[in-house]
Amino acid sequence: MTERERDVRAAVYGAFRDTGKAPAAGELAVTLGLSGDDILDALRGLAAAHALVLRPDGASIWMAHPFSGIPTDFLVTVGARRWFANCVWDGLAIIGILGGTGRLDTHSPATGEPVALQVIDGTVQGEAIAHFLVPASRFWDDIGYT
């Protein structure tokens, strides 16, 4: 990872943490004082290194794990702020890295029933069982499916 990629990655994660949304390349360019091409080069380098995932347009951010840049069925609430996560693992992780108290709302993929997991000071309340469909060695074969 180059120093520029580190700067861009840090700015991406800071934006997700602070706003709940993926920053656009143009916003990153302004924040970091770089050209749009420099930002796109860095984003593509980070994607190639699996440090984040770009949308099919190759220019906007789909995932910066555990955050999702698009709406998903994994809605995290911490205080009055909200984030979308990529999966239940990531949703609980967002709560963890943002202080350990929050709520994850999703639905059972088996039945469609709402599932709410409340985390209070690191203790999870709520009934659920998480299943992994893809072995760890193949997580990145199709990260959107994983």
Partner 1 sequence: MSPQVLYELGGDWYATRLDRGWERPGTAEAEQIFARHGLTGVFWSLS
Residue nearer to partner 1 on the CB measure, 58 or 122 = 122
- From candidates 15, 25, 93, 103, binder to partner 1 by CB under 8 A: 93
Rule CB under 8 A: is residue 29 a binding residue for partner 1?
Answer: no
The distance of closest approach from Cβ of residue 9 to partner 1 in the complex, given in angstroms and rounded to an integer, is 7
Q: Least distance to partner 1 from the beta carbon of 142, Å?
A: 17
> At CA 18, angle to CA 61 and CA 87, rounded to 5?
55
| 20 near partner 1 (CB under 8 A) | no
Our finding on whether 92 is near partner 1 (CB under 8 A) is yes
Calculate Rg over the CA atoms of the chain: 16
Task: Measure CA 37 to chain center.
Answer: 24
As to burial, measured by CB atoms within 10 angstroms (0-12 exposed, 13-18 middle, 19+ buried), residue 33 is exposed
Contact between 62 and 70 under an 8 Å Cβ cutoff? The reply is yes
Residue showing tokens 């180059």: 2
Give contact residues for partner 1 (rule: CB under 8 A). Answer: 1, 6-7, 9-10, 13-14, 17, 49-51, 65-66, 88-90, 92-93, 95-97, 100, 117, 119, 122-124, 126, 128-132, 135-137
